[in-house]
Amino acid sequence: MTRIAFIGAGSVVFTQGLLADLFDLDLGPLHIALHDIDPERLDTAAAAASYLAQGRPVQITAHLERRAALENADFVINIVQVGMNEATKIDFEIPARYGIRQTIGDTLGVGGVFRALRTFPVLRGLAADIADVCPDAWLLNYTNPMVMNVWFLKALGVRNVVGLCHSVYWTMHGLSELVGVPYEDVTYLAAGVNHQSWVLRFERGTENLYDRLDEAIAADPELLRRVRVDMYRRLGFYPTETSEHSSEYVPWYLGHASEVDRLRLPIGAYLEIVAENLASYEQTRSALKAGEPLTVDPTMEYAPQIIHSIVTGTPRTVYANVPNTGLITNLQSGATVEVPSLVDATGVRPTAVGDLPPQCAALNRSYLNVAELTVQAAIDQDPRAIRQAVMVDPATAGTLPVEQIWALCNDLVVAHNNYLDPSLRAALK
């Protein structure tokens, strides 16, 4: 029986989608072990899982204690969000007082840095538990900031850790639709870092579909009002994450009101997503209590596909976030990079891509500088490294002078005090 542990299973809507995908695959008997620290959310997740598992050879258990859920797990799916909605609001509200505009705030920038710092203590405990009770398990991480979290977990010695994100897949679906070619007919290659990978090849047979994309952009001036179209026109390669995300990793857009207007950037968009997720959770909880049916759409996420390939030996290719062991030769060694990866019974095997185009690698290196310093802050327990990470963040550095960056970090350290490592909680002059 394959045992799959969900850490942060109280993210009920996402948990449901992953479970629905898993239950539709031929995996044989399953043991789904759900863990969350919120009893009500855990109960809701367990009820939803039991509903979805009806008629299948699936055992569902719910655990408030993490180690019990991890015991003898073959796979661990991490979807924790430390601090939940209130912490997210802090990540937006305090920077906004300093004039920092954010759209999503979960990957880079001051929001990404502090989301990582409050997640790292939980990841440290998770890594220790995995080493004790399921050292050979595959840890499939969905929690953002992806690059920082996978980098940190690998530094802690987790043997089999892979970061998963759907951005490349859905970007290619969107591009295929834009150029009028069925996705199934498209061949593509992307690589870079999570939320800032680049479409290096975009083809149908011998046809370069970038030519069709250029024609589509020329025919529709409104496309020029998308950040990633703007980036593509200037850099020559299309970025694999939404315009809202992409705007946060460079200094050119959010710091300028005219660009926010030109490119229709939704400041604070993630707060609306948080509200929608909360409403979806309440709808699920109410439906379960009333005995009403649940409607769960397939997610096409990678975790169920990876589990299926490893369990059954069925080969497939996914995009994975893994340590850079010579995979992208002009990015930092050891950093977390996003590359196509073959999955089969032997596990996840990343593909070496070589050099990225220099302009793309330059932006990725700026991104990775922030991630590296944030990870180093936690490893070395160095509060100065937190400030240095935010100092080198492109969007923050393009908006604030250094004294205000330190003051902003001091305010956020105080606001998130309960979640941070004790040695990182002090305000610094």
Q: Considering 31, 166, 173, 256, which one is annotated as catalytic?
A: 166
379 vs 148, 229, 233, 374, CA distance in Å? 12, 37, 39, 9
Does the annotation list 165 as a binding residue? yes
Does the annotation list 72 as a binding residue? no
Kindly report the number of other CB atoms within 10 A of residue 160's CB atom. 16
Kindly report the number of other CB atoms within 10 A of residue 180's CB atom. 10
Task: Find, among 78, 242, 74, 241, the residue nearest to 149 by Cα.
Answer: 78
Q: Would you call 256 a catalytic residue per the annotation? A: no
Does the annotation list 144 as a binding residue? yes
Known binding site: residues? Answer: 144, 165, 195
- Active-site positions read 166
> Which residues define the annotated binding site for substrate?
144
Annotated binding site for Mn(2+): 165, 195
